[in-house]
Amino acid sequence: MRTLICGSMAYDTIMVFHDHFKNHILPDQIHILNVSFLVPDMRREWGGCAGNIAYNMKLLGGEPVIMATVGDDFSPYADRLRQLGIEQGHIRHIPYTFTAQAFITTDLADNQITAFHPGAMNSAHHNEVGSAEGIRLGIVSPDGRQGMLDHARQFAEAGIPFIFDPGQGLPMFNGEELMDFVRQADYLTCNDYEAKLLQERTGHSLEHLARQVRALIVTLGGEGSRIYADGQVHEVPAAKAAAVVDPTGCGDAYRAGLMVGMHKGYDWPTCGRLAGLLGAIKIAHRGGQNHHFTWDEVADRFKAEYGYAL
């Protein structure tokens, strides 16, 4: 079950402003905007698509292999991965850079102002898929632009099945580049907003795109997901969440469950249900990696939720 996860490693610094942004921004003074927000609450979370996917996959008993680039400040994250038993042999340190990080300020209406620094992520192309051995499945998730282009090509040339998961990186590519990704990939995942943008950029319908890959998976938030595969469209119901606290990292949890299901040879409706269940577990916790579960706990909840055993 060795799965190569190409994507970002990042720190998320999340701050809460105990007021509303609108009370401190004068619309007629936007041209000279200069504001400062006092943020008494702040937390730092482990993040990045590759980190979140690997975390969930490891909890399910998978063997995630992260391929990413990180900066001089990565040591605490490296210690965490070591404690979790997640392989780090393909995480490359780029000297004199910071690990990618997002600085997110949220007000009392859940409006957000975010600044993202890619840092070492921009050097993702210095890693090569061929350097990882024994890989049976891969994923190209949001990362440095050139790294995503190179890793997709390298997976295809090596004959390793992989998922193209553009996520928030989708706007970096034009329609022709996106179609190249789709033609090289075996599987394609996106959420409903990204699916609309993908159709707009490529000029092709989801049905057309689905015919280019083995499966096209579209997540629909609280409505579940839709999987186009084998000439069919599988409507996958959403799992019930104990609470809706924070959607950060839910898509990554979904992808981890999807890939573990694929490794185990489950049919697509079962893969989608397992993936959705992980997303439901994650959304009840703040941050991308503060939830915990075992395979047995997931299996029990799966049977209770869907009426049949994994």
Per-residue pLDDT band for 94 (boundaries 50, 70, 90) equals very high
Mean pLDDT across 89-104? 96
Please tell me the predicted confidence (pLDDT) of residue 274. Answer: 98
Second-level CATH architecture of 2-19+41-301: 3-Layer(aba) Sandwich (3.40)
Q: pLDDT averaged over the chain?
A: 95
Cα–Cα distance, 102 to 9 (Å, whole number): 11
Closest CA to 63 of 155, 134, 141: 134
Mind listing the pLDDT tens digit for each residue in 178-189? 999 999 999 999
Cα–Cα distance, 114 to 99 (Å, whole number): 16
Please tell me the predicted confidence (pLDDT) of residue 166. Answer: 96
Closest CA to 163 of 89, 219, 247: 219
Cα–Cα distance, 104 to 209 (Å, whole number): 34
Strand residue runs (E) in 107-209: 112-117, 137-140, 162-164, 187-191
CB atoms within 10 A of CB 171: 10
pTM confidence score: 0.94
Please tell me the predicted confidence (pLDDT) of residue 206. Answer: 96
